[in-house]
Amino acid sequence: MTKPEWLELAARRSKDEPWMLGHAFAKYRQLEGMSEEELAKELGCSVETLNWMSLCRRPESDHFKEQATAIAEEHGVNDRILRRVLGRLKIVEVFQDSSNDGSANQGGVLMAAQDREPDEEPQT
């Protein structure tokens, strides 16, 4: 696929749309203090592929695994790594939400935890 001139602009604008993967990637990078290049490296792809993925819809809880896999397959990325990145972000978001409203959102944490890889150690 030839890289169009508008790709970087579209990917940059996706950061402002909470339903887009670009927004999730930007949040994850901020959380981990990562550059675009570093995130691309973690996902095993180029920055251009990261930009293309940014234009996709962020997988939703109900179909998380299936949707993340579809995105990963479309872009030749390891779906386990993509799910791990998004799963980790979701856990942080759930914790942030629960600390914002002052109550523990246990259902949300469990849902996010279910999206984690079975062999992944819990973060301390």
Partner 1 sequence: MSFPTWEVELALHARILRKDPVASKEVYLAFMDPISRVLQHELHCLPDDAYDSAVDAVLVYLRAPERYDDRKRLSTYLTHIAKRRAVDRKRSSQARTLREEKFVGKFELGRPNPKETMERSVEARDTVRMLEQSDLREKEHKLLEHMLQGEKSSRVLGKVLELKPMSDQQERQEVKRHKDRLLKKLVRIGKEDSDDKA
**If binding is defined by CB under 8 A, does position 77 make contact with partner 1?**
no
d(CA 68, CA 35): 22
**If binding is defined by CB under 8 A, does position 65 make contact with partner 1?**
no
Joined together, the tokens standing for residue 93 give: 């978001």
Sign of the C-alpha dihedral, residues 91, 123, 27, 23? negative
Alpha-carbon separation of residue 49 from 31, 41, 83, 93, 123 (angstroms): 21, 11, 16, 25, 28
Q: According to CB under 8 A, which one of 29, 40, 43, 57 is a site residue for partner 1?
A: 57
Q: According to CB under 8 A, which one of 3, 9, 106, 114 is a site residue for partner 1?
A: 9
**If binding is defined by CB under 8 A, does position 55 make contact with partner 1?**
yes
Question: Which burial class, exposed, middle or buried, applies to 20 when counting CB atoms under 10 A from its CB (0-12, 13-18, 19+)?
Answer: buried
Q: How far is the CB of 2 from partner 1 (least distance, A)?
A: 10
Q: According to CB under 8 A, which one of 24, 45, 59, 91 is a site residue for partner 1?
A: 59
Q: How far is the CB of 123 from partner 1 (least distance, A)?
A: 25
**Site residues, partner 1 (CB under 8 A):** 4-6, 9-10, 12-13, 15-17, 19-21, 52-53, 55-60, 67-68, 70-71, 74
